[in-house]
Amino acid sequence: MKTIALSAIAVLVVAVAAASSAEPPASLSEITFGDLAPIGFRASPLVVSGPAVTGFEGPKVVVEFETSVATPPAVVRYGPVFLAGGIEQPVYRRVAVEPGDDPGSVATLHRIRVDVSKLESRLYDSGFVAGGGGVVAFKVEVYDPDYGSIRTYERRFRYQRHGEPKEGRYSLASTMVHGPFVDLVGPDSFVVSWETDVPAPGAVVVADREFVAPEPSERHEVRVTGLEPRTAYGYRVHYGHDGGMTPTYEVTTAPPRGESGFRFGFASDSRAGAGGGAHAVEGVNRAGLAAVLTGARARGAELFLFGGDLISGYTSSQNAFEQQLASWMRCAGLVGSSLPIYEGVGNHEQVGDYFEVPDPEHDGYRIVMFRDREDPRSAEAIFTDTFANPRGSSYGFCLGPETRKTGVGTATGPDYGETVYSFDHGNCHFVSLNSNYWFTGVKNSTGTKRYPSDKDGTEVALEVLGGCREGYVMQNQLDWLEEDLRMTQEDDAIDWVFVFTHEPAFPNGGHLWDAMFWGDAGKGHEGGLNDHDVPLGDVIDMRDRLWTTLVRHDKVVAFMSGDEHNYSRTLVDSDVDPAFTRPVWHIVSGGAGAPFYVQDLSSPWSGNVEAFSLVNHYCLFDVSDDRVSLTVYSTAGVPIDEVPDFSSYARTPGSQ
C-alpha cells in the first residue's frame, strides 16, 4: 500500500472537505474524508495578544494587551522578586488600574500605566535604587464576562534607570522571560536553559568559569561540565547586551553512577482547576503546581518527574498551546533554577487539526474529531522545543516514528523527539513513555453528544484521520522499551528502575473508560476494549505486552502515571492476571491541581488497591542500596501514605 506523509493527509482532508456535498452521512460507518469540515477549536483565549510592556512614559511603564471580547478595566499587581531557600517568589506590593471612560466601560484594546518608581523605596527595595533598576514581576487580572471569573496573566520585565528615582530616565532592558532552568543534572555536568524577550547573547558563570552560549538567540541551552559529583555549585546567568544578570542559584550534582542515597519526587496533572484566579492561570493550576513543586523542593527532592497534563491544551491554535506551556514554565520557575524537572506528555498536551461532521446518530448534533499535526507543528515537536529533556535511551539509541494504515494509505506519525527517553541518577534508571503519541480522538463541546471516551466515534476518527488512540503505546515504542530495559537488566550500576507516563495501565477512578483499558462498567476484565482483529492487538493486548515487559525485568520497581486526579497505590500481581508472575507497583499521582475523580470500585483490580486518596499531593521516594521507601504528602504537609520498604511488594493487612 502506498505510504504518504501525515502532511499529505492534512492537505487531502482539507481539499476534500472543501468539495464535500451538503448531504450528511447516513451512519458512522459511512463517514469519509469528504464529510469532514475543518474548524477552529478553543483557538481564541480571552487575551489574544500580550500582555506586553511597550515602553516608558516617565517612570511609568506601559502594559498593553488585546482581548477577544470586550472586558471591563483590568488591574495590574506588581513588585520585586525575592529568592529564599532556592525558591523564587514574586511579591506584589503595588497596584495599577486601567483607566475607563465611565464605571461601565468595556474594551478589547487595553493600556495600563504602571509606576515603577513606587517600588524604589527603602520599605521594600530589592536593589532598584542602588542598581538603577531591576526585574519587576507583574500579573494582569482581567474579568472574563463569558465565565464570570477573573483571568490572571503573569509576566516580568527588566528596566534601567539613569539618574535619580522618579526624576531619571527610565527604559526597558532585555528580559529573561523563562528560567533559568537546570536540567539533565549528572555527576559531572548539568544544563542551564533560559529564554529572553529578544535575541541576545548569554553565558553561565560557575565560580571563575564561564560557559558561553554559541550565538545570540531567544532560547539557550548551555551545558556546564567538569564538575564533581554530589557537590553544590552556585551559578548565575549573564544575558543581553545591557548587563542582565540573574541572582546566584545553587544546584547539587548527582551521585556517582551506581551510588544510592537520594530522594526524588513524582506528580502529574496540573492543568487548570475550577477555582478561578491562581487555580486557572493560562491553562495551569498555578496554586496546585506551586504547592507540589515547592513542597518537594523544601523536603529535599534532588529531581522531580512530572507525568503529563501540564496544561489544559486541546486547541487548534499553536499560539494558544505555546502560551499555556509558557505559563507552566513560569510557575515551575519557582524551583526550576535548582530542581531538575523531567516532563512527560499527557492527553491535554494536544494541539492539532480539528474537524466536524454531522452526527448520524444524534439529529442536530455534530461529531468533533482531532488529530496531531505533522512536524514541526506536532505536539511532540513543540514539547521538545520547549523543554530540555533527554532524547532516546541513556544507552545511546532512539526510536523512529510510528506508521499505521488509513483509508488512503499508510500514514507516518511525528518524531518522538524528547517525549520518550531514559536517564540514570545514582543507582536508578528512569524511563519516560509517551502514551499519547500522535493523538487522535473525538472531543466534547457545545453541540456534541459524544465524549472523548466514546468508542464508536474514536474508531471512526482513527479510521479517517490515522494516528493513535488515547493510552495506546505503539509497537516501535514497545520495542524501544524492551531494549532499554534489557540493557538496564545487564547494567551492574543500576539497582532500581522506575517507568513513568501519563495514562494508567490499571485505572481506578475517572478513566476506566479510556486510558489502557477503555472498559465497560460492570463487565470486569472482559469489559476492556480488545478486538483481536486489530493489527498488533487492541488495547488490552497492548497493555499486557507492556506489563509483561515490566514483569520480565526484575529491577522494575514501579509504573507511575497520572490522568486520574487522585492518588492510588495498586499491587499488580498474579491476582490481576496469572501471566503477571512478578508483582509490580502501579502508582497514580494526579494531584497537582486538576479537578478530583473519586474511586471506581467496579474496576476488576479494585481488591488490589492498597491506598487511595483525594487531596492535592506529591510522592517522595527515598532510594538506598537495599530498599526504596515512599512517602506521599498532601500539599498541606500531611503524609497520606507511607511505605517503609516500597520494594518488598508486601500486601497491607486489611487493604481495600
For the chain, domains (ranges, CATH) are 49-173 (2.60.40), 178-252 (2.60.40.10), 262-643 (3.60.21.10)
How much is the average pLDDT of 389-408? 88
CA gap 181, 328 in Å, rounded: 13
Q: Return the ∠ at Cα 470 (arms to 591 and 31), rounded to 5°.
A: 140
- Contacts for 518-526 with beta carbons within 8 Å, 24 or more apart? 518/453, 518/455, 518/469, 518/471, 519/603, 521/600, 521/602, 522/602, 524/604, 525/577, 525/604
536 pLDDT higher than 80: no
301 pLDDT higher than 80: yes
Closest CA to 617 of 580, 549, 569: 569
pLDDT band for position 650 (cuts 50, 70, 90)? low
Residue 504 sits at φ, ψ, to 5 deg, of -70, 140
pLDDT in tens, 228-252: 999 999 999 999 989 999 999 999 9
CA gap 495, 624 in Å, rounded: 9
Query: 74: helix, coil or strand?
Result: coil
CA gap 506, 575 in Å, rounded: 13
Q: Are strands 190-200 and 176-183 parallel, antiparallel or unpaired?
A: antiparallel
pLDDT score of 10: 44
Q: Which of 70-74, 356-360, 419-423, 528-532 has the lowest mean pLDDT?
A: 528-532
Look up residue 567 and give its three cell numbers. 492518588
pLDDT in tens, 178-226: 999 999 999 999 999 999 999 999 999 999 899 999 999 999 999 999 9
pLDDT score of 103: 72
CA gap 569, 1 in Å, rounded: 45
pLDDT score of 652: 56
pLDDT score of 23: 81
Which of left, alpha, beta for 547 (phi over 0: left; psi -120 to 50: alpha)?
Answer: alpha
Cβ neighbours for 553, distance < 8 A, ≥ 6 positions apart = 485, 486, 488, 489, 497
Q: Quick check: 196 and 218 in contact, CB under 8 A? A: yes
pLDDT band for position 9 (cuts 50, 70, 90)? very low
How much is the average pLDDT of 55-78? 97
pLDDT score of 68: 94
pLDDT band for position 612 (cuts 50, 70, 90)? very high
pLDDT in tens, 556-599: 999 999 999 999 999 999 999 999 999 999 999 999 999 999 99
254 pLDDT higher than 90: yes
pLDDT in tens, 12-35: 444 444 444 468 898 999 999 889
How much is the average pLDDT of 601-608? 92
How much is the average pLDDT of 85-104? 88
Residue-averaged pLDDT of the chain: 92
Look up residue 337 and give its three cell numbers. 533554577
42 pLDDT higher than 50: yes
pLDDT band for position 407 (cuts 50, 70, 90)? low
Look up residue 22 and give its three cell numbers. 451538503
Give percent of the chain above pLDDT 90. Answer: 82
Q: What is the pTM of this model?
A: 0.94
457 pLDDT higher than 90: yes
Q: Are strands 3-5 and 232-239 parallel, antiparallel or unpaired?
A: unpaired
CA gap 584, 576 in Å, rounded: 11
> Which amino acid is it at 398?
C
Bigger pLDDT: 18 vs 365: 365
pLDDT band for position 7 (cuts 50, 70, 90)? very low
60 pLDDT higher than 80: yes
CA gap 246, 338 in Å, rounded: 13
